[in-house]
Structure 1
Amino acid sequence: MWRIAWTERLLCIVIIALIALTACTPRKQKIEQGEMRAFEAFFAANGDSVSITPRKVRTQALLKMQEAKDSLVRHNYLAVASKTCLMSSDIDSARLLIRQIEDFTMKQPFSAQLADLKSECYNMRGNVYARTGYMDSAEVYFRKAYEQRMQGTKMEVVPDILMNLADANNRLGKLDAGAAWYRRALILCDSLDIVSTKKPPIYYGLAQIYVALRDFDQCDYYYNLAAESYESMLPFEKHFYLNNRGTSYYYRGDYETAISYFRKVIDLAKDYPDMLFEQNLGWMNLGDCFLQVNEADSAAKYISKCQPFFKKIGIPTALYYIDTQNIELALIRKDLPQAQRILTGSVAPPDIDPDMIHIRNKYLQRYYEETENYRKAYFYLKENNRMDDSVRNERVRMRTADLALRYQQDSTVMAQKVFIREKENEVLELRQTKTFWIALSIITLMAVGFIYTYNKKKRALLLAQNRRTVSTLRLENIRNRLSPHFIFNVLNQEMAERKAEEHQELSSLVKLMRRNLELAEQLCVTLEEELDFVKIYIDLERRSLGTTFHPVIEIGDDVCPGQVQLPSMLIQIPVENAVKHALRGKEGERNLWIIISSQANGTCIRIRDNGGGYRMNSRNKGTGTGMRVIMQTIQILNMKNKEAIDVAVHNVRLPGGEAGCEVTFLLPDKYDYKI
């Protein structure tokens, strides 16, 4: 028996745990989805600022990362922070953050959002390798980023990865593959209907390929397309455009134009303190241009500016290029020992660009001519001629391959366009049919809505008229239980038979009834008129209630009774109820307070008694007809006013320990009493 009971208890615990887990899972998913939407909103708002103010965005991203509870969202913020490190040339910090993201992604199960994060991580890793000159590794990681992004959710980011992949292939000398990736990015932009801001980087990327192929007509065609969107480019995109266009004029031998573009690069970088890499690259390119026009002092100035930066971050290709410039500078100054020292200490990186080797060989040939080592000079002359032939052959092959790829892509695009046109015609027919029925449905709904609104307004008008009539009739019914003329005649006869000092009370009663008759047809009166009426009523009640009856009327100093309007009988009916149902049958002191004060947006009226409070089962409870009519009148008036008259009835505890009832009215200043 004990075993069975223990088993049942364990089963119950498991079932409760499953129910709790099932209940918590949707809530957890909701929180995660909310945090991911918050991250996407953050990135949409700060994406452009990553390249403009990277340090500020990094601080915000790290703060948001600490607030996020979902680990995937936290590492997305970390990816933004690592991207800002790249933009500010803090390569070591970027590597550290990327490694943390990689460690996280390797341990997580596959999901589309994880694929997006992996793609971002691979893309940044590729950019790190590209910045440090390891283009083989950069190309591998850009390809991984592309493959991961195709499994993710943000397809609009794919063109950016394709551009990085194309640029890596260009720098590896695979110009045909680079052009193919750029054209694929263009096709993707058109097919996904991505905004045109993605296209300028593709245009100047293609232009860079045609610079390498020395096809300057095609080069200028694509650069001019990119230039049309120059003002809308991000700062780093402007840098790529200016730097690459300057490079195109360098290879044409137009060094003056190249210098003007590289100066624009430096001016651009001055406005953005985090563009250190771009600024130093501009100085390095300017140094080379001044060497070509034999301005050694200007060249030395810019070479000395950029050399410490590239030594600090350790980019082999940049340092090799700077050494090459220093060799030429030493040759111009006839400082052959300095040229020898640089040659001895300089080592060519394994993936150096062939153009750099060609430039270095040209300087080596000149050096050996200066040192009268003509055998070596002749060797480098032949080596450069061999490279020229090889490069020309490679360019011919690349152009042929590029033409073949363009023809293949154009044929594919043409077939797709024909297919799309056929489908568009089919969709157009469906849309026309759909539009006809939608228009017919809208017209029908509008007609039904018009008829419904017209009938509703008509009913509302009739209802308002009925309510106004009912309210008026009820008020007149209360005020005129007997014919006023009959009552006046009887009272006048009674007063005539009595002495003057004996008919004072009857005189007050006649005055009260005459005032009541005057107000019978008025929906609203002034506070002054209402208080006069109430005072007459209280004076009549003093005789029956005796000396223990103490009425008090308090009016605030900032209240003007002659200007405040209120519904007729608003104060009199609660006062009469207090006297009849609370104070008349009470033993001891009978207190009645009428307190009128000014509030922020209106006037507050309080009628309070010490008659024990309102009780549902009290035998002194009246029919409630008077208050019901007042409430109905206020309800009708409130229907046509933006600010309503506020009514409250509640029991209160008085300072002496007694209980009482308090009726409160709050009258807005700007209130329309017209019906």
Structure 2
Amino acid sequence: MWKIMWTERLLCIVVIAFIALTACTPREQKNEQDEMQAFEDFFAANGDSVSIAPRKVRTQTLQKMQEVRDSLVRYNYLAVASKTCLMSSDIDSARLLIQQVEDFTVRQPMSPQLADLRSECYNMKGNIYARTGHMDSAEVYFRKAYEQRMHGTKVEVLPDILMNLADATNRLGKLDVGAAWYRRALLLCDSLNIISAKKPPIYYGLAQIYVALRDFEQCDYYYNLAARSYESMLPFEKHFYLNNRGTSYYYRGDYATAIDYFKKVIDLVRDYPDMVFEQNLGWLNLGDCFLQINEADSAAKYINKCQPFFKETGITTALYYIDTQNIELALIRKDLSKAQRILTESVTPSDIDPDMVHIRNKYLQQYYEETENYRKAYFYLKENNRMDDSIRNERVEMRTADLALRYQQDSTVMAQKVFIQEKENEVLELRQIRIFWIALTSITLLIVVFIYMYNKKKRALLLAQNRRTVSTLRLENIRNRLSPHFIFNVLNQEMAERKMEEQQGLSSLVKLMRRNLELAEQLCVTLAEELDFVKTYIDLERRSLGETFHPLIEIGEEVYSDQVYIPSMLIQIPVENAVKHALRGKKGERDLWIIINRQANGICIRIRDNGGGYRLNSQNRGTGTGMKVIMQTIQILNMKNRETIDVSVHNVLLSNGEMGCEVTFLLPDKYDYKI
């Protein structure tokens, strides 16, 4: 291993020296386009092999570099060589080569081709920082790569850069921003007609967002979308999918399934010797899973396998994770002194993944519990609870959706700038569409005006019809009674011929008839006026019904009868029906209740008797004219009000076992009696 890596670095130094010697060679304008096209063809043929066989591609790339004379093309080859170094985990060589590319791009005048190269340079630097655990710097360079690529020609690689940017922001704990970058990458794939093979990495990247939010239903949804394309994935894409899906089961506590996925990672990389980083990452994750199921020996085996690699490469986040696992391993083995030593020597990087901090805090809580330092144990328990609340906070999820929608418009506009060139026929089509919409809007407006005028006229006709109906009801109500002038003349003659004590009943009758005439001309009266009329009627009927007739009027304390308005004859007609058709022919006690009380939003009026209940085929059944007048009046009034008067007529079983009939009116407050 050591010999191979030093050989590669020596080769990179030779390449850099060659570039320095030939940098000043004049370019031949004639060959520039041919050499760039040859590079494009080479990369199209070997792009996938960069991750599968990076050393082979590196050798071919360095050979091609010696054949070209154009500096821009040469440094494009060098960028590919740096990518192969990263794929084979030769971080130092990758860093050295990409620095040479960056120095070149700074010295050259800006052009679309140079923007592509500069974007590739920044993207590689971002990957180097991500591999070594410096996520703040990785995010900065991925953003620069995205901005430069917007000025270049190869916009089809934008989704890859956005995925890198999303991964970096996720590892920094900015889940909402990471989700926004993933969704922008998806939108780019759709709007730019980019092949669907780029979508699976976006899907399992989005799945990781929901793992962090602990929303495993959405997590599985996106992983299942990615799994459909598993067979067509590149090896490193398969690694990301298997590794991340195993991580999702780790956070669910399903360690057996997580171990299965991480073992699949090991099986995958076994066929690709250059995937050293991926292999060691799989061992690292397996170590943690075996710790969770208290298999200390298996955990120690995998930790010892991967620790030398991460120490050599200096990946701080992985070393932090290994220290965390060693703490737990010492706790399982009851070696508290070793745990204390690891805690003392361990250094926490400034940009560590929040999930790793969460795992470390859990182990620290366990350590301080076993050392009986419960104050610190409680501190780390609170820290983890705070992190859980922050990660799963609803505001994060809401902001994720908001940013996704906001970025959608930006990406659509960008896609149009890149791919859509308006032609004369498209302009003509737009004009035709505009004329169509203007015509459609005009027709719609005319239809709306016509419907409005029609409804207005219909309402006016209905109002006139209602007024005629009310007038008809009033006349019908009057016609159902004898001429008041005739009755008054007869009664006055009778009263003149009788003694003073005999005139009381006739006086009440005269009062009843006069009041009946007044009420027939009014649409609504106060509750007090209606009850006064009803009491007069009941007093007259009491003589014919005798001592077995027991009328009762109950008014609730919160009911102010002189301030409550009701339709005219609303109580009188049901009372008269009860007396005439139910109580008059009844044997035994004859009871009549008029109960008025306030409910939540209005007045409830109940008229109840014990006359045996309402029977459709009863001999005492009347013509129904009185109730018809009431019901039609209420129906007309209800058409003008949002809250309506409710009417119900039903039989009730009384407490003494008798059957009775009850008429109920529910009158809402602020009811309008104007027509």
Instruction: Tell me if TM exceeds 0.5.
Output: yes
Rounded to whole Å, the distance in 2 between the matches of 1:53 and 1:99 is 23
Aligned to 1:297: 297
Matches within 5 A, 1:656-675: none
Rounded to whole Å, the distance in 2 between the matches of 1:248 and 1:426 is 52
Rounded to whole Å, the distance in 2 between the matches of 1:63 and 1:355 is 44
Conserved in 1, the CA contact under 8 Å of 2:122 and 2:141? yes
Aligned to 1:451: none
Rounded to whole Å, the distance in 1 between the matches of 2:361 and 2:408 is 41
**Residues 191 and 344 (structure 1), Cα distance of their counterparts in 2 relative to 1, 3 Å cut:** same
Give the counterpart letter for 2:360 in structure 1: R
Conserved in 1, the CA contact under 8 Å of 2:288 and 2:325? yes
**Residues 382 and 186 (structure 1), Cα distance of their counterparts in 2 relative to 1, 3 Å cut:** closer
Q: Secondary structure at the match of 1:30?
A: helix
Deviation, structure 1 residue 218: 1.1
404-413 or 321-330: bigger deviation: 404-413
1:439-480: per-residue Cα shift (whole Å, max 9, x none)?
xxxxxxxxxxxxxxxxxxxxxxxxxxxxxxxxxxxxxxxxxx
1:299-322: per-residue Cα shift (whole Å, max 9, x none)?
111000000000000011110100
Rounded to whole Å, the distance in 2 between the matches of 1:369 and 1:425 is 76
Q: Secondary structure at the match of 1:110?
A: coil
Aligned to 1:564: none
Give the counterpart letter for 1:92 in structure 2: D
Conserved in 1, the CA contact under 8 Å of 2:200 and 2:226? yes
Rounded to whole Å, the distance in 2 between the matches of 1:417 and 1:51 is 29
Deviation, structure 1 residue 341: 1.1
Rounded to whole Å, the distance in 2 between the matches of 1:98 and 1:133 is 18
Aligned to 2:381: 381
Aligned to 2:278: 278
Q: Does residue 342 of structure 2 align to residue 324 of structure 1?
A: no
Aligned to 1:404: 402
Deviation, structure 1 residue 370: 1.6
Give the counterpart letter for 2:397 in structure 1: R
Conserved in 1, the CA contact under 8 Å of 2:176 and 2:400? yes
Q: Secondary structure at the match of 1:334?
A: coil
TM-score (norm 2): 0.57
Aligned to 1:353: 353
Aligned to 1:132: 132
Aligned to 2:118: 118
Give the counterpart letter for 2:125 in structure 1: R
**Residues 299 and 417 (structure 1), Cα distance of their counterparts in 2 relative to 1, 3 Å cut:** closer
Give the counterpart letter for 2:123 in structure 1: N
1:549-606: per-residue Cα shift (whole Å, max 9, x none)?
xxxxxxxxxxxxxxxxxxxxxxxxxxxxxxxxxxxxxxxxxxxxxxxxxxxxxxxxxx
**Residues 174 and 375 (structure 1), Cα distance of their counterparts in 2 relative to 1, 3 Å cut:** closer
Deviation, structure 1 residue 382: 2.9
Aligned to 1:108: 108
Q: Secondary structure at the match of 2:372?
A: coil
TM-score (norm 1): 0.57
Structure 2: gaps spanning 5 or more residues: 1-25, 430-675
Matches within 5 A, 1:28-39: 28-39=28-39
Conserved in 1, the CA contact under 8 Å of 2:171 and 2:354? no
1:354-382: per-residue Cα shift (whole Å, max 9, x none)?
22222212211211222222232233233
Deviation, structure 1 residue 90: 0.2
1:70-113: per-residue Cα shift (whole Å, max 9, x none)?
11111111011000000000000001101111111111111111
**Residues 411 and 299 (structure 1), Cα distance of their counterparts in 2 relative to 1, 3 Å cut:** same
1:143-191: per-residue Cα shift (whole Å, max 9, x none)?
1111111111111111111111111111111111111111111111111
Deviation, structure 1 residue 136: 0.6
Give the counterpart letter for 2:232 in structure 1: S
Give the counterpart letter for 1:313 in structure 2: T
Deviation, structure 1 residue 405: 2.7
Aligned to 1:576: none
Rounded to whole Å, the distance in 1 between the matches of 2:318 and 2:55 is 25
Rounded to whole Å, the distance in 1 between the matches of 2:401 and 2:198 is 24
Aligned to 1:656: none
Conserved in 1, the CA contact under 8 Å of 2:177 and 2:403? no
Conserved in 1, the CA contact under 8 Å of 2:85 and 2:91? yes
Conserved in 1, the CA contact under 8 Å of 2:188 and 2:415? no
Q: Secondary structure at the match of 2:28?
A: helix
Matches within 5 A, 1:490-501: none
Deviation, structure 1 residue 391: 3.4
**Residues 123 and 90 (structure 1), Cα distance of their counterparts in 2 relative to 1, 3 Å cut:** same
Give the counterpart letter for 1:375 in structure 2: R
Give the counterpart letter for 1:359 in structure 2: I
1:532-559: per-residue Cα shift (whole Å, max 9, x none)?
xxxxxxxxxxxxxxxxxxxxxxxxxxxx
Rounded to whole Å, the distance in 2 between the matches of 1:425 and 1:75 is 41
Q: Does residue 59 of structure 2 align to residue 59 of structure 1?
A: yes
Q: Secondary structure at the match of 1:204?
A: helix
Aligned to 1:218: 218
Deviation, structure 1 residue 253: 0.8
Rounded to whole Å, the distance in 2 between the matches of 1:71 and 1:104 is 9
Rounded to whole Å, the distance in 2 between the matches of 1:149 and 1:165 is 13
Rounded to whole Å, the distance in 2 between the matches of 1:405 and 1:377 is 38
Matches within 5 A, 1:89-488: 89-392=89-392, 395-408=393-406
**Residues 416 and 160 (structure 1), Cα distance of their counterparts in 2 relative to 1, 3 Å cut:** closer
Give the counterpart letter for 1:306 in structure 2: C
Rounded to whole Å, the distance in 2 between the matches of 1:391 and 1:140 is 23
Conserved in 1, the CA contact under 8 Å of 2:179 and 2:400? yes
Q: Secondary structure at the match of 2:66?
A: helix
Q: Secondary structure at the match of 2:89?
A: coil
Give the counterpart letter for 2:223 in structure 1: Y
1:5-55: per-residue Cα shift (whole Å, max 9, x none)?
xxxxxxxxxxxxxxxxxxxx9x92221111111111110110000000000
Rounded to whole Å, the distance in 1 between the matches of 2:231 and 2:285 is 24
Question: Greater relative contact order: 1 or 2 (C-alpha under 8 angstroms, separation 6 or more)?
Answer: 2
Rounded to whole Å, the distance in 1 between the matches of 2:426 and 2:376 is 73
What is the CA RMSD across the aligned residues, in angstroms? 2.7
Rounded to whole Å, the distance in 1 between the matches of 2:389 and 2:156 is 42
Rounded to whole Å, the distance in 2 between the matches of 1:62 and 1:97 is 12
Aligned to 2:17: none
Aligned length, in residue pairs: 403
Deviation, structure 1 residue 235: 0.6
Q: Secondary structure at the match of 1:67?
A: coil
Aligned to 2:79: 79
Aligned to 2:593: none
Q: Secondary structure at the match of 1:405?
A: helix
Rounded to whole Å, the distance in 2 between the matches of 1:356 and 1:369 is 20
Conserved in 1, the CA contact under 8 Å of 2:188 and 2:411? no
**Residues 90 and 415 (structure 1), Cα distance of their counterparts in 2 relative to 1, 3 Å cut:** closer
Rounded to whole Å, the distance in 2 between the matches of 1:375 and 1:415 is 55
Aligned to 1:490: none
Rounded to whole Å, the distance in 1 between the matches of 2:37 and 2:324 is 51
Deviation, structure 1 residue 404: 1.9
Rounded to whole Å, the distance in 2 between the matches of 1:88 and 1:308 is 16
Rounded to whole Å, the distance in 1 between the matches of 2:377 and 2:110 is 60
Matches within 5 A, 1:521-532: none
**Residues 175 and 284 (structure 1), Cα distance of their counterparts in 2 relative to 1, 3 Å cut:** same
Give the counterpart letter for 1:398 in structure 2: V
